[in-house]
Amino acid sequence: MKALILVDLQYDFLPGGPLAVSQGDQVISVANEWMHRFELVIATQDWHPENHKSFASQHDHKQIGDVIELRGLEQVLWPDHCVQGTPGAELHADLHTDRITRVLHKGTDTNIDSYSGFFNNCHQHSTGLAEYLKQRAVNEVVIMGLATDYCVKYTALDAIKLGLKTSLIREGCRGVNLNPGDVQRACDEMQAAGVTHI
C-alpha cells in the first residue's frame, strides 16, 4: 500500500507568513494534482504552543536564525509560527482537504522541536504516523511539501529508517535556504539515504 504525505502546507510557511518559504504557494496545486492518485493522504501540521522553545522570542538576547542548544541538540531559532489554533497554522484553504485521510500534529511539546512528521527531534515521541502507516500495511510513501531543508528532509529520512520505500516529488517542495545551498544539500542527503526523486 502507498501513501502520500503532505508536509506542513500551512499559511505561516507561505509568502506573507512569518516563516515564508519562497514560492511556497506554488506547491498547493501540485499537492492537489497528486492527492487524487492516492487512497491514503496524510497531512502534517506544525502545531506549536505559543511559548515554543524554537521561537527566538522565547530566548533573551537571541535573534531569528541563531542556533542554540536544546536538550543537547542544535536548534535554529525561528520567528513565531504555526501557533496552535491561529489562522497561520491552518492548512491552505485551496487544498482538496476532502482527500486527506489523516492530519497529524507535530511540534506540540514546548521544549523540543519536531521537524519530522514521524518523531520529535530527539526521537522520543511519535506523532502516531508510523503506527498509522503500519496499521494500513503501507510500505511505500511519496512525500512533498514545506520546507525541503527541514521538515520534508527529516520526514523522508525517518521514512527510510522505518524501512519504507520513499520518494520525493521535487516540484512539490520548496525550502528555506537559511544558508545558500541548503536545499541542494538536503536533496543530496535524501538521495544518498535512498530517497528517489520524482
Q: Give the residue numbers marked as catalytic.
A: 8, 106, 151
78 binds ligand VGL, rule: CB under 6 A: yes
80 binds ligand VGL, rule: CB under 6 A: no
What residues numbered 80-109 form the site for Zn ion, per CB under 5 A? Answer: 107
Closer to ligand VGL by Cβ: residue 135 or 179: 179
Closer to ligand VGL by Cβ: residue 34 or 115: 115
Closer to ligand VGL by Cβ: residue 123 or 134: 123
* Cα 194 off chain centre by: 19
Phi, then psi, of 89 in degrees rounded to 5? -90, -10
Query: How would DSSP label each residue in 122-164?
Result: TS--B-SHHHHHHHTT--EEEEEEE-IIIIIHHHHHHHHHTT-
- C-alpha cell at position 125: 515521541
150 binds ligand VGL, rule: CB under 6 A: yes
What is residue 74's three-state secondary structure?
strand
Select the residue whose beta carbon is closest to Zn ion and give its number. Answer: 46
Binding residues for Zn ion, per CB under 5 A?
46, 107
